[in-house]
Amino acid sequence: MLHRSKYKALLEGLIEWIIRICGISAVVFVFAIFLFVFWQGKGLIFSGEFDFWKFLTTKEWYPASESNPRYGVYALITGTISVTVLAMVIAVPFGLGAALFISEFCSPKLKETLKIVIELLAAIPSVVWGFIGLTIMNQLIMELFGAPIGLTVLNGAIILALMSVPIIVSIGEDALQAVPDSYREAGIGLGVTRWQMVYKVLLPAAKNGLLAAVLLGVGRAIGETMAVLMATGHAVHIPFDAEFPFLHGLDSVRTLTATIAAELGETARDSSHYQVLFIIGILLFTITFAVNLAADLIVKGIKGK
Amino acid sequence: MVDQTAKLNIDGLKVSYGSKQVIHGITFDIQPNEIFGVIGPAQSGKTSMLRVINRTIDFTANAHVEGTVKMEGQNVFHVKDVYEYRRRIGMVAPLPVGLPLTIYDNVAFAPRSFGMKDKSELNELVQRCLEQAALWDEVKDRLDTLGTMLSGGQQQRLTIARALSHQPEVLCLDEFSIAIDPVTTMKIEDVLKELRNEMTIILVTNLVQQARRLADRTMFLLNGNLVEVGDTEKMFSGNAKETKTNEFVSGAFG
Amino acid sequence: MTESVNNAKRFTETRIGRNCQLTEKIAKFVFLLMTLTMVLPLLLIVGFLFYKAWPALSIDFVLELPKNGMRAGGIWPAFLGTLYLVLISLVIAAPIGVMAAIYLNEYAKENWFTRIINLAVINLAGVPSIVHALFGLGAFVLAAGLGRSVLAASLTLAVMTLPVIIASTKEALSAVPMSFRQASWNMGVSRWQTIRGIVMPNSISGILTGIILQVSRAAGETAPIMFTGVVFYKAVEKGDLFAYGLLDQCMALAMHLYTISTQVPGVPDAVPFATAVVLLGVVLLVNALSIGLRIYLRTHRKW
């Protein structure tokens, strides 16, 4: 006579509990990351020496100074913004163009190959990209623009663009594929060319997903560390000003991420310098959290899930 | 007044999915070792009723069940181990499904999950179940073929074999013969008549003649309402209590 | 899709029609160009890397120890260190990731709590790598008292690469048709037994893909390991496979590339280029494996 052994049932119950715990692990880790980073930086926040507004808006970054430490990250924020914006200006048109091509205009065989290439592009480690920026791009920029050094906003932006493009292409392609074929057929039925169908029907229909793709690309660019550390130079400098072209791509800058990576090794544990770097970490965490949340809300908005 | 000798008591069963109610309160008994037929047009709640009996309705998130279902006096929604309970019910669904395992493993899967390890025991059980499902002769030389590679009719018979493999006390068949040719259907119907000695059988079918051939008693469900339940011969001979039953049986609608 | 074009030929060609066709061709060409603009630089860059690395590339390069302040010799300790980090982080991340995916796909109900979990997975994937480093420092090196060690660095990598395994596994699990599960539940087989006996064996390909992707990510990351256990230089024996203990510090390929290209003066070009090629080679090879696995399994479908 068959029957379920009590012992097995108990073991199974245990396994299912372990599964449930693992299920919430991601939530636990996200909280833990915020908590532990905050914990290491809290000393400075609550010490009374720290003015959050000044932190965000002044450009004097002298955290190691004995006599007059100043923690203004404004220049670092502009560093991050300049590289990210320029990178997106390059990556978004190319990325969306490639997504359109792969999704709508190319043959199945070519599609396979291109998707594989994009995947391999995405797999390249950031330190290798940084190395490429340091060596190849550096030379190229110096020669092409006659600049004194090639480690600049432009260098970082090109590298970041190449790094962000795979995300934009793959999620953008998903967004385009998610548009039901009936839309395409309706367009073809009216006798328009494929391009017109894309322009008038497909893009408006997929715009939420495409926007999400761009946002995720932005998130990737903001959070990148090694590549910008190695490619943008080490100047705490604001590359924007009032004269054309407003963004000086040949200036050297430093991003928020690079600052942490470059300076953490030299700080004494629990010193103010050490703690302010963790505070920058919290700032970065919050920014990328907001960007990812926005992207997710936009996507869920259309799927209605 | 509950019939204590019945295998299954269903009392005031109501089932709804979200705001849509599919069964509007039905009450009946199923006697042990009988073949109980259930007939009715599509969307009458026949499948939902079966899913209540074997409690797979639990997996539908928005399903709401009211009323009591008892097997041998025990409320089926209050059993200690629902998996053990489901082992006692065999279910043959209308769509043929071959699991992506070998044919042998398809049939041996459930017994193994319940602790049967002995090779010779398993061999014997697999052969017996496949024979009862009228599939043995066709597959005995290729028991290591993948179940998903069989034809639709063969997969349906495989489903029947699987349903028998865990020694159920109640066997539910939901339109088992749609994907099977008439000759094989006859073979299986003969097997069902014999299996009645070992278990209770609930036969949901759209084929009125099949119910007439096999069922001892039959229930007519119409749009989630129990129209009539009684002795098959009486119901099908045009002398049913309700006119609707006579109309359905004679093919006036459905 | 070319039907509309053929149909257009049955009617007389109008100037408008010709213009439309032209726009179509231009659009297609422009997009093709855009795609190529990304693909070609990649090929050129990889080619250039190889070219500059060639003088230093050899099997010995991988097995030898660095000499002369890392300006010559090989990269064995870094290569070994990366192996350790990848393996240990995999052993930690894989079980947790696979089980988390099983929870999400097989047990979780569609409610707000599940939505939060999914959100957390996406966010975990989007956290900047340097913030993972800060977390590892605060949690594993300091709070857990592991100090800067292989273990702390591996744990940090495990947390970082968890989303990769969760996403791949979930996709593989959801590709198994619901009808299989229902057929199994109908027989009284429990949910876990169904997962173990039917769902998992048929998603093994996706799970492996996720694992391979995790390996590739873990091998290439620098920031998370920089402050949690990987150092500039560690003395080991040539060819020694067991040189690092769990609480030791180690070298790693990614970190090594960063170090010799930015922190050490006077390194001959070939050495960092060769290091980059080895690292890139390892990562691309691993990814090629996962792509190959996917293609192989697509042709061996069981249903």
Cα–Cα distance between C189 and C176 in angstroms, integer?
17
Closest CA to C268 of C73, C60, C80: C73
pLDDT confidence bin for A246, thresholds 50/70/90: confident
Closest CA to B71 of B94, B54, B51: B54
Query: Where do the H-state alpha helices sit in chain A?
Result: 6-23, 25-45, 52-57, 74-100, 108-123, 126-132, 138-145, 153-178, 181-189, 194-197, 203-223, 226-231, 256-263, 272-303
Write down how long chain A is. 305
Residue C235, pLDDT > 50, answer yes
Quick one: tokens of C70?
């890392």
Quick one: tokens of A245?
């072209």
Mutate to test the interface with C, among A134, A216, A225 (most CBs of C within 10 A): A225
Neighbours of chain C (3+ CB pairs under 8 A): A, B
The predicted model gives C4-17 an average pLDDT of 64
CATH class of this structure's domain A75-303: mainly alpha
Contacts 24+ apart (CB under 8 A), C137-141: C137/A40, C137/A264, C137/C227, C137/C228, C138/A36, C138/A37, C138/A39, C138/A40, C138/A278, C139/A32, C139/A36, C140/C228, C141/C227, C141/C228, C141/C229
Quick one: tokens of A214?
């761009």
**Chain A: nearest CA to B84, how far in angstroms?**
6
pLDDT confidence bin for C121, thresholds 50/70/90: very high
Taking the Cβ of residue B23 and every Cβ of chain C, the question of whether any pair is shorter than 8 Å is answered with: no
Q: How close are the terminal C-alpha atoms of chain B, in Å?
A: 33
Taking the Cβ of residue A12 and every Cβ of chain C, the question of whether any pair is shorter than 8 Å is answered with: yes
Residue A152, pLDDT > 70, answer yes
B32, B212 in Cβ contact below 8 A? Answer: no
Alpha carbon distances (Å) from B121 to B128, B143, B145, B236? 11, 16, 21, 43
Q: Is B95 helix (H, G, I), strand (E, B) or coil?
A: coil
Considering just the CA atoms, what is the radius of gyration of chain C in Å? 25
User: With contacts defined as CB-CB under 8 Å, which chain C residues touch A224?
Assistant: 128-129
Instruction: Find the closest chain A residue to C110 by CA distance.
Output: A305
Cβ distance of A5 and B115 shorter than 8 Å: yes
CATH class of this structure's domain B8-249: alpha beta
pLDDT confidence bin for B2, thresholds 50/70/90: low
Q: What angle do CA B86, B92, B96 make, to 5 degrees?
A: 130
Instruction: Find the closest chain B residue to A13 by CA distance.
Output: B81
* pTM score above 0.95: no
A25, A93, A284: residue with CB nearest C131:
A284
Cβ distance of B99 and C180 shorter than 8 Å: yes
Cα–Cα distance between A203 and A201 in angstroms, integer?
6
The size of the A-C interface in CB pairs under 8 A is 263
pLDDT confidence bin for C6, thresholds 50/70/90: low
Give the model's pLDDT for residue A142. Answer: 84
Category of B167 on φ-ψ map: left (φ > 0), alpha (ψ -120 to 50) or beta: left
Taking the Cβ of residue A8 and every Cβ of chain B, the question of whether any pair is shorter than 8 Å is answered with: yes
> Are β-strands B170-174 and B200-204 bridged in parallel, bridged antiparallel, or unpaired?
parallel
Cβ distance of C129 and A291 shorter than 8 Å: no
**Worst-scoring range by mean pLDDT, A49-63, B164-178, C253-267?**
A49-63
Taking the Cβ of residue A3 and every Cβ of chain B, the question of whether any pair is shorter than 8 Å is answered with: yes
**Worst-scoring range by mean pLDDT, A1-10, B118-127, C95-104?**
A1-10
pLDDT confidence bin for A28, thresholds 50/70/90: very high
Neighbours of chain B (3+ CB pairs under 8 A): A, C
Cα–Cα distance between A74 and A57 in angstroms, integer?
5
Q: Write the pLDDT tens digit of every residue in B92-144.
A: 988 888 899 999 999 999 999 998 889 999 999 999 999 999 899 999 899 98
Quote the distance between the C-alpha of residue B214 and its chain's center.
13
Quick one: tokens of A56?
């965000």
Closest CA to C199 of C56, C99, C82: C99
A18, A26, A93: residue with CB nearest C120:
A26
Quote the distance between the C-alpha of residue B80 and its chain's center.
23
Cβ distance of A4 and B166 shorter than 8 Å: no
Burial class (CB in 10 A: 0-12, 13-18, 19+), C271: buried
User: With contacts defined as CB-CB under 8 Å, which chain C residues touch B148?
Assistant: 302-303
B84, B97, B100: residue with CB nearest C202:
B100
User: With contacts defined as CB-CB under 8 Å, which chain A residues touch C158?
Assistant: none
Residue scoring higher pLDDT (C18 or C115)? C115
The residue to which tokens 């299912």 are assigned: A16
Cα–Cα distance between B210 and B39 in angstroms, integer?
10
| DSSP class of A41 | H
B162, B110 in Cβ contact below 8 A? Answer: yes
Residue B243, pLDDT > 70, answer yes
Give the model's pLDDT for residue C30. Answer: 80
Instruction: Find the closest chain A residue to B111 by CA distance.
Output: A2
Q: Write the pLDDT tens digit of every residue in A280-294.
A: 999 999 999 999 888
Quick one: tokens of B87?
């082992």
> Are β-strands A61-62 and A70-71 bridged in parallel, bridged antiparallel, or unpaired?
antiparallel
**Chain B: nearest CA to C165, how far in angstroms?**
24
The residue to which tokens 């042998």 are assigned: B104
**Residue ranges of the domains in chain A?**
6-62, 75-303
Residue A305, pLDDT > 50, answer no
**Residue ranges of the domains in chain B?**
8-249
Closest CA to C24 of A110, A199, A107: A199
C119, C139, C223: residue with CB nearest A296:
C119
Q: Write the pLDDT tens digit of every residue in C125-157.
A: 999 999 999 999 999 999 988 888 999 999 999
Burial class (CB in 10 A: 0-12, 13-18, 19+), C26: exposed
Cβ distance of B115 and A1 shorter than 8 Å: no
Q: Write the pLDDT tens digit of every residue in C181-206.
A: 999 999 999 999 999 999 999 998 88
Give the model's pLDDT for residue C180. Answer: 93
The predicted model gives C60-73 an average pLDDT of 75
C249, C85 in Cβ contact below 8 A? Answer: no
pLDDT confidence bin for B68, thresholds 50/70/90: very high
Closest CA to C156 of A32, B122, A284: A32
Write down how long chain B is. 254
Alpha carbon distances (Å) from B73 to B45, B79, B84, C201? 24, 11, 17, 40
Cβ distance of B81 and A5 shorter than 8 Å: no
The predicted model gives C207-222 an average pLDDT of 91
The size of the B-C interface in CB pairs under 8 A is 68
Give the model's pLDDT for residue C65. Answer: 78
Cβ distance of B85 and C188 shorter than 8 Å: yes
**Chain C: nearest CA to A243, how far in angstroms?**
31
Cβ distance of C257 and A18 shorter than 8 Å: no
Closest CA to B46 of B70, B22, B30, B25: B22
The residue to which tokens 């005995």 are assigned: B140
Give the model's pLDDT for residue C10. Answer: 61
Q: Report the mean per-residue pLDDT for chain A.
A: 86
Q: Report the mean per-residue pLDDT for chain B.
A: 89
Closest CA to B127 of B163, B176, B161: B161
Chain B residues with at least one Cβ partner in A under 8 Å: 81, 83-84, 87, 111, 114-116, 166-167
C207, C168 in Cβ contact below 8 A? Answer: yes
The residue to which tokens 């010709």 are assigned: C18
C134, A278 in Cβ contact below 8 A? Answer: yes
Q: Write the pLDDT tens digit of every residue in B5-46.
A: 889 999 999 999 988 999 999 999 999 999 999 998 888 889
A232, A258 in Cβ contact below 8 A? Answer: yes
Residue B165, pLDDT > 90, answer yes
Q: Which domains does chain C have, with CATH numbers?
A: 74-298 (1.10.3720.10)
Residue B217, phi then psi, degrees to nearest 5: -125, 155
pLDDT confidence bin for C173, thresholds 50/70/90: very high
pLDDT confidence bin for A147, thresholds 50/70/90: confident
Closest CA to B60 of B22, B90, B28, B24: B22
